[in-house]
Structure 1
Amino acid sequence: MRFEYVAQAVLVLIGVIHSVPGIVACAPGRAVAVYGTGLGNHDQELLLRHRALLLAAVGIGLVVGAFAAPIRVAAFVAAAISMTSFVALAFTVGFRELNGKAKRVAWVDVVALIALAFSALAFI
């Protein structure tokens, strides 16, 4: 039972990490602080704000899923797809050429994926 509490706390933490970029959806100028990149044009702003909303939705799903078993699997899957795809794309486009903030996001996702896997095991 104790492992379940730790797993819930980890899910909440990963959910909060996923929700932080949601700030960009409401304040697009914060993209520089979050990602280390500016909004070059309206198209990029749209894409970054949309990404921010999707990440926030996954984050909220993880927080709710930590306490609501019926949606937990969906939250796990959504988070795993989100983080794995970002890491894979980071290496596809050239990890070494990314700025420091983008690299940090990728490494945070790697650590969060490992934590997500251990959390999943706790609920089995």
Structure 2
Amino acid sequence: MRFEYLAQAVLVLIGVIHVVPGIVACTPRRAVAVYGTDLGNRDQELLLRHRALLLALVGAGVIVGAFVAPIRVAAIIAAAISMSSFVALALTVGFRELNEKAKRVAWVDVFALVGLAIAALAFIE
């Protein structure tokens, strides 16, 4: 039971990691601070805001999934897809060519994926 509490805490942390970029959906100018990129035009702003909203939804699902067992597996899978796809895309476009903030996001996702795997294993009965 002790490991379940730790696993729940890890899931909440991973959920928060996903929710925080949701700020960009509400205040798109924060994209510069969060991602180190200029919005450029309205199309890019729309894409970043949409990404931020989707990340926030995944994060909310993970936070709820930490405490509601019936949705936990779906939330863990959604978070795993979200983070692993960002890492894969970062590697595909050339990790060394990314700015420091984008690299930091990728590394946070790598470490969060490890935490996610450990948390998932803790819930296996």
Q: TM-score, normalised by structure 1?
A: 0.99
Between Structure 1 and Structure 2, how many residues are aligned? 124
Q: Does 1:76 align with 2:76?
A: yes
Indicate the SS of the match to 1:20: helix
2:87 corresponds in structure 1 to 87
Distance of 2:105 and 2:39 partners within structure 1: 18
Residue pairs, 1:112-123, within 5 angstroms:
112-123=112-123
Q: Which residue of 2 aligns with 1:111?
A: 111
Partner of 1:5: 5
Match of residue 24 from structure 1 = 24
* RMSD across aligned positions (CA): 0.3
Structure 2 unaligned spans of 5+: none
Once the two structures are TM-superposed, the CA of residue 29 in structure 1 deviates from its matched residue by 0.2
Counterpart residue identity of residue 91, structure 1:
L
Deviation string 1:41-84 (CA, Å, 9 cap, x unpaired) is 01100000000000000000000000000100110000000000
User: 1:61-72 residue pairs with structure 2 within 5 A?
Assistant: 61-72=61-72
In the TM superposition, structure 1's runs of 4+ consecutive aligned residues that sit over 2 Å from their partners are: none
Deviation at 1:38? Answer: 1.1
Q: CA deviation at 1:28?
A: 0.1
Matched position secondary structure for 1:21: helix
The equivalent of 2:44 in structure 1 is 44
Matches within 5 A, 1:50-61: 50-61=50-61
Letter in 2 for 1:78: A
- SS at structure 1 position matched to 2:108: helix
CA distance in 2, matches of 1:95, 1:43: 24
Counterpart-to-counterpart distance in 2, 1:17 and 1:103: 15
The amino acid that maps onto 1:120 is: A
CA distance in 1, matches of 2:11, 2:63: 6
What is the aligned partner in structure 1 of residue 101 from structure 2? 101
Q: Which runs of 5+ in 1 are unaligned?
A: none
Task: Name the TM-score, length of structure 2 as normaliser.
Answer: 0.99
Amino acid at match of 2:71: I
